[in-house]
C-alpha cells in the first residue's frame, strides 16, 4: 500500500532552507577567499613597511655626526632631536610620504602615496654623544590611532 505523504514532493519551505544552506556555504567560501587576499596584501604591506623603516634608520646612521678638530660637538641637522609626539602626528622634518615601493615621494602626496613614515630622535642622557632613533611606517593615510605596520629602533653614537 502506498503512503500518500511519500509522494508529495518538496515544499517551498524545504527548498528555501536548502537554498539558504547553499548560499551560506558559498558565502563562507567567498569570505575565506577574500580573507586570504587581504592577508596576502597585508603581508606585502608589512614587508614594504619593514624595509622602508629600515631604510630610514640606515639613512640616519649614515649621516656624519662627529666631533670637530678641537673636540667640540659638530651638529648634524638630519640628526636634530624631534619634538614630543613625532611618531603620533606629522611633524615637519620627521615624516615623509612613500610610494608603493617604499621610496620617498617628492612634493605633496597627490594620489601616489601608499605609506607614511615618521621618525623620532630622542636623547640618550643629554643627547650629546648618543641618540635613540625610532622609525614607524603606517599605511597611507595614517589616521589618528591607526597602528603602524612596522616600527624599528636603533641607537646612533657620535663618531670620534
Partner 1 sequence: MNARGFTLVELLIASILTLLVVAASLALAASARQSFAVEPAALDTVRRLREGTEALAGALTGAGGGHPAGDGVSSLASSVPLVRPLTSLTGVPGVRFTAIWTLRATDGGLGRLASPQPGPAGSLTLDRASSPCALTTAVCGFDVGDTAVVFDERGHFDVLQVAEVSDVLSRVTPAAPLSYAYGVGAWVLAVRVDRFGLVRQADGSQTLTRITWAGAREPMVDGVVELEIRAWGRALPPEVRDAALGPGLAQYGLHPPEPLQPDPDSVFADGAHCMVARTGTAPSSRLVPYEPGAEGLALLEPVDLSDGPWCPYDGWSGAYDADLFRLSRIDLRLRVEVQSAEFRGPAGRLFTRGGTASRNAPRWVLDRTLETSVALGR
CB 160 within 8 A of CB 67: yes
Q: How far is the CB of 130 from partner 1 (least distance, A)?
A: 13
Quick one: 9 or 108, whose CB is closer to partner 1? 9
Quick one: 33 or 146, whose CB is closer to partner 1? 33
Among 109, 87, 82, smallest CA distance to 98 is for 109
Quick one: 33 or 128, whose CB is closer to partner 1? 33
* Residue 147 region by backbone torsions, left for phi larger than 0, else alpha for psi between -120 and 50, else beta: beta
Residues of this chain that bind partner 1 (CB under 8 A):
2, 4, 7-10, 12, 15-16, 19, 22-23, 26, 29-30, 33, 36-37, 40, 43-44, 47-48, 51-52, 54-56, 58-64, 66, 68-69, 76-78, 100-103, 159-160
CB 97 within 8 A of CB 90: no
Quick one: 19 or 130, whose CB is closer to partner 1? 19
Q: How far is the CB of 55 from partner 1 (least distance, A)?
A: 4
86: which residues sit within 8 A by CB, 6+ positions away? 94, 95, 118, 119, 120, 121
Q: How far is the CB of 71 from partner 1 (least distance, A)?
A: 9
Q: How far is the CB of 105 from partner 1 (least distance, A)?
A: 11
Quick one: 75 or 125, whose CB is closer to partner 1? 75
Amino acid at each position: 500500500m502506498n503512503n500518500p505523504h511519500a509522494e508529495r514532493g518538496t515544499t517551498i519551505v524545504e527548498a528555501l532552507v536548502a537554498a539558504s544552506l547553499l548560499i551560506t556555504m558559498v558565502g563562507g567560501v567567498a569570505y575565506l577567499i577574500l580573507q586570504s587576499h587581504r592577508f596576502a596584501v597585508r603581508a606585502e604591506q608589512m614587508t614594504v613597511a619593514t624595509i622602508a623603516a629600515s631604510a630610514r634608520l640606515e639613512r640616519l646612521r649614515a649621516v656624519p655626526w662627529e666631533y670637530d678638530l678641537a673636540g667640540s660637538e659638530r651638529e648634524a641637522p638630519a640628526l636634530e632631536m624631534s619634538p614630543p609626539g613625532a611618531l603620533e602626528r606629522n611633524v615637519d622634518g620627521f615624516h615623509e610620504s612613500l610610494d608603493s615601493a617604499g621610496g620617498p615621494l617628492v612634493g605633496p602626496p597627490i594620489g601616489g602615496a601608499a605609506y607614511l613614515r615618521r621618525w623620532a630622535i630622542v636623547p640618550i642622557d643629554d643627547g650629546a654623544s648618543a641618540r635613540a632613533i625610532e622609525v614607524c611606517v603606517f599605511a597611507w593615510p595614517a589616521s589618528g590611532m591607526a597602528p603602524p605596520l612596522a616600527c624599528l629602533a636603533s641607537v646612533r653614537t657620535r663618531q670620534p
